[in-house]
Amino acid sequence: RKRLTITSMKKMKQERNAISVLTAYDYPSAKLAEEAGIDVILVGDSLGNVVLGYETTIPVTIDDIVYHTKAVARGAGHTFIVADMPFMTYGASRETTLRNAARIMQEGGAHALKLEGGTEIAADVEALVKAGIPVMGHIGLTPQSVHQLGGYKVQGKLDREAERLMNDAKALEQAGAFSIVMELVTEPLAAAISEALAIPTIGIGAGRGCDGQVLVYHDLLQYASPYTPKKFVKTYADIGTTIREAIESYVQDVKGAAFPAEEHAFLGHTSAVQPLYG
């Protein structure tokens, strides 16, 4: 299987071949995503919510992203891997942005990085691209600024909001981004932005007009996701219930002496065993 490139992704857009993206955070999730034929894996800072149990993505660190990206890279050696730059690890000073980016690429093994923001981070995006790092943008509902945005709500409903998002998307493309995630954006606006850009857009809660889709692993599988069910998520399995019931059975078996059974035991030569006493 051949790993996608930023060039092949642009071609997919031209050919109206939708790009499938899924988050993964460790070896098994990455391995299963690759085996299932996912196009791109995102080591999202949503790992703060779904793997580490934080309420927002804000506490996620560079070390967290490096650690999880390493595991994903070991599990999915043939898949294009994008990793999130965490809150405040970019956009403050150019030098720090580049140093943090280098760590995720070199130590983690990501092939590209994703940054939240529009016009205000375009100069940083340009610097990263000049340094040889493919950058994915992320606009609309940007969870790292949840407190600034006043909650997790749909973006682009007002005309001035829509205009700003369109300008942000164009600024990111101009700065050299190879793709842009649009999160919780109205369908008509996301479609218009996708039309206006040559680079592929990846939607989550952004309707049917994007060039690809992304979902969070634990949402898609109902794998103990801390979120209440969301309108824009389609669940494809109930892994959480499967796991809980399996563990309940194990607990019952141990308590009821049903496990281990004879077939799980190593039956040696009892004649060789000396009685402990007498």
Instruction: State in angstroms the smallest separation of the CB of 65 from Na ion.
Output: 10
Site size with Na ion, rule: CB under 5 A: 3
Give the whole-angstrom CA distance, residue 56 versus residue 269: 57
Contact between 84 and ligand KIV by CB under 6 A: the answer reads yes
Chosen from Na ion, ligand KIV, none, partner binding at 68 (C-beta under 5 to 8 Å by type): none
Tell me the longest C-alpha to C-alpha distance in the chain: 91
Contact with ligand KIV (CB under 6 A) among 204, 206, 210, 220? 204
DSSP, residue by residue, 153-210: --B--SHHHHHHHHHHHHHHHHHT-SEEEEESB-HHHHHHHHHH-SSPEEEESS-S-S
26-55 positions binding Na ion, by CB under 5 A: 44-45
Contact between 39 and ligand KIV by CB under 6 A: the answer reads no
Chosen from Na ion, ligand KIV, none, partner binding at 181 (C-beta under 5 to 8 Å by type): ligand KIV
Task: List the alpha helices (DSSP H) in 51-145.
Answer: 62-75, 94-103, 122-130
Instruction: State in angstroms the smallest separation of the CB of 47 from ligand KIV.
Output: 7
Residues 6+ apart with CB under 8 A from 98: 127, 128, 131
Q: Which stretch binds ligand KIV (CB under 6 A): 12-20, 32-40, 44-52, 191-199?
A: 44-52
Three-state SS at 129: helix
Q: Determine whether the annotation assigns residue 116 to a binding site.
A: yes
For helices 187-196 and 159-175, the axis angle rounded to 10 degrees is 30
91-150 positions binding ligand KIV, by CB under 6 A: 138
Q: How many Cα atoms are found within 13 Å in the side-chain-facing hemisphere of 68?
A: 28
x/- mask, Na ion, residues 62-91, rule CB under 5 A, reads: ----------------------x-------
Chosen from ligand KIV, Na ion, none, partner binding at 184 (C-beta under 5 to 8 Å by type): none
Find residue 80's DSSP bridge partners.
40
Contact between 75 and ligand KIV by CB under 6 A: the answer reads no
112-151 positions binding Na ion, by CB under 5 A: none
Site size with ligand KIV, rule: CB under 6 A: 12
For tokens 């790009």, the residue is: 19
45-74 positions binding ligand KIV, by CB under 6 A: 45-46
Residue 120 a catalytic site member: no
Find residue 113's DSSP bridge partners.
83, 135
Instruction: State in angstroms the smallest separation of the CB of 23 from Na ion.
Output: 8
153-182 positions binding ligand KIV, by CB under 6 A: 181
Give the whole-angstrom CA distance, residue 81 versus residue 26: 12
Residues 6+ apart with CB under 8 A from 61: 86, 89
Closer residue to ligand KIV (CB): 67 or 248: 67
**Looking at the annotation, which residues are catalytic?**
183
Which residues are at the interface with Na ion (CB under 5 A)?
44-45, 84
Q: Which residues bind ligand KIV (CB under 6 A)?
A: 23, 42, 44-46, 84, 138, 181, 183, 204, 214, 216
